[in-house]
Amino acid sequence: MHNTFKAALKTGKPQIGLWLSLANPYTTEICATADFDWLLIDGEHSPNDVRSILAQLQAVAPYRSHPIVRPVIGDNALIKQVLDIGAQSLLVPMIDTAAQAQEMVRATRYPPQGVRGVGAAAARASAWGMQTDYVQKANDEICLLVQAETKTAIGNLDAICNVEGVDGVFIGPADLSASLGHLGNAGHPDVRKVIDDALGRIIRSGKAAGILTADLAEAKRYVDMGCHFVAVGIEARVLATSVRTLRAQFNGDAAPATPKGVVY
């Protein structure tokens, strides 16, 4: 049950990932063959539920890529279910305060450090009881990442980073740009300035800093800044772009324009 992703973050070696939005274990397994360091199974903006997340965790299991699950909301009961089906790393959206971050730490830990319900003997997380020391070791192997994606979160960023048990903070550019008054324009100079400053603050705090961008030059810039986990695309967008380009090539048309400088 060793969490290789959490261990890698501690080494400081950048972990490069891919967002999964298609909510399908078949396409998830295809993406796992690409050997990304991590794959984000998205339950916030994709039609995933606990069962479809489980199927994708099973699809990724034979491969090197580490699965991270983003639940639709930081709900204690839902987090309990996601952990019991075998997720070790979570990315919780819309964390605005240190108190909310602390509550997520408690949701992911067994007592006395937290409030996670104990039912692992009947769960995939412990291989249905085969791993007899699961409950003793689970707290140390959980990797908790939280998303800061509003003006309020940026104002509270230092306090969020100081919460013990939070392993990393992910900047959500799309929602942050909306919160800053630039809906749909995460590349706006004012937004980029806030993002760069926030990532720098996370890095200086000693926590892992993360972000998602489909602009490869921008992704490399974030890595050069010291970001620890960077997603470089969304599989749904990769598929959409590829099939449109293929059709255009067959027709002899110019390939559809790919947005530049877009951060999702």
Residue 233 to residue 132: CA distance in whole angstroms: 38
pLDDT bucket at 255, cuts 50 / 70 / 90: confident
The reported pLDDT for the residue numbered 261 is: 46
Residue 65 to residue 18: CA distance in whole angstroms: 10
Residue 176 to residue 181: CA distance in whole angstroms: 9
Task: Compute CA 112 distance to the chain's CA centroid, rounded to the nearest angstrom.
Answer: 27
pLDDT bucket at 258, cuts 50 / 70 / 90: low
The reported pLDDT for the residue numbered 217 is: 96
The strand pair at 229-234 and 208-212 is best described as parallel
Domain annotation covers residue 110:
yes
pLDDT (tens digit, 9 = 90+) per residue, 70-112? 999 999 999 999 999 999 999 999 999 999 999 999 999 999 9
pLDDT (average), residues 203-229:
97
Examine the pLDDT at 260 and tell me if it is beyond 90: no
| pTM, full prediction | 0.95
Domain annotation covers residue 187:
yes
pLDDT (tens digit, 9 = 90+) per residue, 1-28? 799 999 999 999 999 999 999 999 999 9
Average pLDDT of the chain?
A: 96
175: CATH:
3.20.20.60
The reported pLDDT for the residue numbered 214 is: 95
Domain annotation covers residue 256:
no
Which domain range does residue 102 map to?
4-251
Asked if 45 is an active-site residue, the reply is yes
Residue entry with tokens 């969304």: 234
Answer whether 221's CB lies under 8 Å from 200's CB.
Answer: no
The reported pLDDT for the residue numbered 19 is: 98
Answer whether 29's CB lies under 8 Å from 61's CB.
Answer: no
The reported pLDDT for the residue numbered 254 is: 78
| Rounded alpha-carbon distances, angstroms, from residue 261 to 173, 192, 205, 214 | 12, 10, 27, 8
Angle between helices 25-32 and 235-251 (to 10 degrees): 90
Amino acid occupying residue 122? A
- Tokens at 52, concatenated: 């479809």
Residue 172 to residue 263: CA distance in whole angstroms: 9
Catalytic-role residue among 45, 66, 182, 228: 45
pLDDT (average), residues 238-252:
94
Examine the pLDDT at 51 and tell me if it is beyond 50: yes
Domain annotation covers residue 260:
no
Answer whether 105's CB lies under 8 Å from 160's CB.
Answer: no
Task: Compute CA 28 distance to the chain's CA centroid, rounded to the nearest angstrom.
Answer: 15
Examine the pLDDT at 116 and tell me if it is beyond 70: yes
Q: Is the peptide bond before 112 cis (omega within 30 degrees of 0)?
A: yes
Residue 228 to residue 200: CA distance in whole angstroms: 11
pLDDT (tens digit, 9 = 90+) per residue, 121-171? 999 999 999 999 999 999 999 999 999 999 999 999 999 999 999 999 999
Residue 67 to residue 5: CA distance in whole angstroms: 9
Question: How many domains is the chain built from?
Answer: 1
Domain annotation covers residue 261:
no
Task: Compute CA 109 distance to the chain's CA centroid, rounded to the nearest angstrom.
Answer: 19
Hey, is 224 helix, strand or coil? helix
Domain annotation covers residue 98:
yes
Domain annotation covers residue 219:
yes
Residue 203 to residue 171: CA distance in whole angstroms: 12
Residue among 124, 118, 168 nearest 148 (CA): 168
The reported pLDDT for the residue numbered 256 is: 73
The reported pLDDT for the residue numbered 259 is: 57
